[in-house]
Structure formats: C-alpha cells, structure tokens
Amino acid sequence: MTLDLAAYAKEKGIKYFMISFTDLFGAQRAKLVPAAAIADMQKEGAGFAGFATWLDMTPAHPDLFAVPDASSVIQLPWKKDVAWVAGDCVMEDEAVEQAPRNTLKRQIAEAESQGLYVKTGVEAEYFLISPDGTEISDPYDTAEKPCYDQQAVMRRYDVISEICDYMLELGWGPYQNDHEDANGQFEMNWEFDDVLKTADKHSFFKFMVKSVAEKHGLRATFMPKPFSHLTGNGCHCHVSVWNKDGTENAFADPSMELGLSEQGRHFLGGIMKHAEALVALTNPTVNSYKRINAPRTLSGATWAPNTVTWTGNNRTHMVRVPGPGRFELRLPDGAANPYLMQAVVIAAGLNGLRAKADPGKRYDIDMYAEGHLVTDAPRLPLNLLDALRNYDADTELKSAMGEAFSSAYLKLKHGEWNAYASHLSHWEREQTLDI
C-alpha cells in the first residue's frame, strides 16, 4: 500500500516536501513543495523544465514531472519540518528513459525477471574543506599517514557525530566513522540494503553531508581528486545477489573459490568483461581519471585501481572478494551518480550471467608494487574521452542500459569533454607561452 504523503505530513509535522531527482551529471534537482499541495503532487508530480537540468532535452520539450516515490521519504533530521523524497521523472505520462533513477529501476526489474534480488552497500568518501575550496579545513591535519588519525577525527567530532546521529535516527545502521587516507578526508559506513534503497540513501547522504558541513561553516566535497598530492575520493560498491525474496545469497557457496558461487563468478565475469566501458559511468568526470591514474600520493598509495584485475582480500585491485558471497568494486569515485553506478553494475553483471562469463585469472600480488608484472590484463582508460569511446563501442552494455539513456549520456558527456578540451589552462600557458 502506497504511503499517503499528506497524512505523513500531518503525523510528522512536515511543512514542506523537497521532491528531488538526480540528473545525468549527478546534480540533485528539487522543488520545495508546501505540505498543503503534496496530495496533488503525489498524483501528478512536481513540474520542471528538463532542458534547465543536465538531461538531453531542449526548451521545446514538454514539462517534465518528478513524481514522488513515497517509499523513499526521509524527514530531514536537521530540519524536522522538511521531508526529502526521491522523484521518478515522467513526461506526457511516460517514464523518461534517460533519467538515472528510471534507468536503475529497469535494471532491477530485469534482475527480478531472472529471480534475482540485488543488495549493495557504498563507502562514500569526502573531504571537509574551506568554503572557497582551496584547502582542507583543519590546519593541524598534516600527518604523512593520517588514516584513522584519532586526534584529527576528534577535531571534526561535531560534524561527524552529527551526521552519524542522523543516520542512527533514520535507522540506516551506521557502524563506523573514520578519518580516511588523505588529510581532511573522512568515510562513514552504514549497512547494505536493497539496491534502490541504497541508491536513494547515497543520494540523500551527499545532500546531508554537504548541508551539515555548511551548517558548521565548512564545505564538503565528493570530488574524485580535489588535491593532486592526496588520495582521492573513492566510492567503493559492495555487491551481492540474492534469491527473489532476499533470504538466500545466490553469490555464496563455501565449496567454491573464495566462497563465491558459480553465479557470483559469472556476475563478476560481466563486471570484468565490461570494465573498460562501465568506467564511463562509475568514473564520470574529467577529474575522475586523475584519481585512477594518479602517481603515488603523500601517504604512499592511491588506493585506486588502474588495471582490470580481481583478487581475494587485497585492496590494490579493481575488484576485491573480501569474504564469501559478495565482492567489492573499488573502481567508482565520489562523482559517481548514485543511480547510474548501481544500474551499470547490474547491467554488466546480468550480461555476465547470460554469457556465463569467466572473470579470468585471479591475481594476489600487490598491484602497486608488482603491477608491471601483469601483462595480460586491460588497463583502465587514461581519460574521460577514452572511457566514453569504450562505452560507445560496447554495444552489449549500451543496449542493456537502454538506447535512449546511452544516447543522451554520451551526447552530454562528449559536450563536457569538448568544453574541457577547449579550456585554456594555467599549465598550458606555463609550458608554451615562451615557445
């Protein structure tokens, strides 16, 4: 039974609803709707001009409506009279195929048609920086190896504890918070869940972290590589696939290598097969490739992959199998669209199941120290343009993600690359002004 948002507003004291959707570039778009109007909005949706966001539309397109999915509603813990709710984009009573949440829901439906139920978790890293974005916010956070730094995390206790308190209040099951490998960088973990719920929580988490940081006079960024000498922001994705009612892990088989079942190996095989293309979605910005192809950082490691390899419990590879019945994709970064990241993982994995794909040789070496010894594994793209070309050439993955989505995404992302390529940088002037 669908939750009545008007009744929810009366029960919770909600004055406004923030009906939100995420566009192709991961930007969160919203309208603030008075509770008195939410009944109509729940039926018809909040109206937007699609061209005014990063969707492949023109000013001549009809109104786009974000229809709230009441099951996703979250009362803002820091502003109790406002509730956030994820919207599904429709136009002229038809689902907008290119919209990221719709794209994910199609993949979920495809998995369900095969009797499978996907559960995921994310590790969303971020920096707390100065309001102007030029430096980390804590001038005392200078250690060469700051990961798990007790003093540094306590200097940001007010921000971290406030966010964690909110996740506890929301019932997300947060279980640890830490200072990450870069100065000024943090990570907060919560329990894995149904893949759509995880994507909605991921989207809301980014909104919440930024809001709380601003409340404390700081700025939070999930930018993949905001500082050249420091480790970048990853967004590791933990994946498991279950039976239809979510009671039995279809990836788990204690008799198999690393406890990963035959189905799990084929799903992983799909990730490996399509890695050079799916990176266009898991690492979607120009800046992303400065993280996955970074030189050694101040701490001594980038913690990011640059080669398509998998392993057991070893963090130097693209995919890690840390325990039975699941794997961790370490490729995505902080710019990944919460919905598209999950959608492309499912699409690639399901293709691997259909094709009975083999994930290939397992490597247990330290890729940072001995990666040069691996000569038969593909390298990840060096830049966004190469990633987009790989995605465009991968007709199986494009088709699985949907032709309308793929066409729109490639068009807008090529436009982004062209804007970057035409930009005159400070480096260019330094290198060539006197030639």
- In a domain, residue 184? The reply is yes
Q: What percent of the chain has pLDDT over 70?
A: 100
Same domain, 384 and 357: yes
Q: Name the average pLDDT for the chain.
A: 97
The answer to whether residues 146 and 215 belong to one domain is yes
Domain residues for 356? 106-427
User: Which of 336, 338, 309 lies closest to 234, judged by CA?
Assistant: 336
In a shared domain, residues 55 and 85: yes
Residues 75, 132 share a domain = no
| The token pair that represents 183 in the structure block | 């100065």
Query: Is residue 288 situated within a structural domain?
Result: yes
In a domain, 3, yes or no: no
Axis crossing angle, helix 262-282 with helix 338-355, rounded to the nearest 10: 140
The domain that holds 161 is classified in CATH as 3.30.590.10
Instruction: Yes or no: say if 277 and 205 are a contact pair by the CB < 8 Å rule.
Output: no
Is the same domain home to 87 and 183? no
Evaluate whether residue 98 is within a structural domain.
Answer: no
Residue at which a domain ends, from 34, 63, 92: 92
In 300-402, which residue ranges form alpha helices assigned H by DSSP?
Answer: 338-355, 367-370, 384-393, 395-401
**Structural domain contains residue 304:** yes
Q: At which of 68, 92, 116 does a domain end? A: 92
In the predicted structure, residue 301 carries a pLDDT above the cut 90: no
Last residue of a domain, one of 58, 92, 126: 92
Task: For residues 294-309, give the mean pLDDT.
Answer: 90
* One domain for residues 283 and 386: yes
Give the chain's domain count. Answer: 2
Q: Does 28 reside within a domain?
A: yes
Residue-wise pLDDT for 349-405, tens only, equals 999 999 999 999 999 999 999 999 999 999 999 999 999 999 999 999 999 999 999
Structure tokens at 211: 């809001």
- Same-domain check for residues 409 and 291: yes
- Rounded distance between C-alpha atoms, residue 103 and residue 287, angstroms: 24
110 and 87 co-located in one domain: no
Contacts of 113 (CB under 8 A, 6+ apart): none
Tell me: do 175 and 30 sit in the same domain.
no
Query: 187-217, pLDDT tens digit by residue?
Result: 999 999 999 999 999 999 999 999 999 999 9
Q: Model pTM?
A: 0.97
285 and 184, same domain (yes or no):
yes
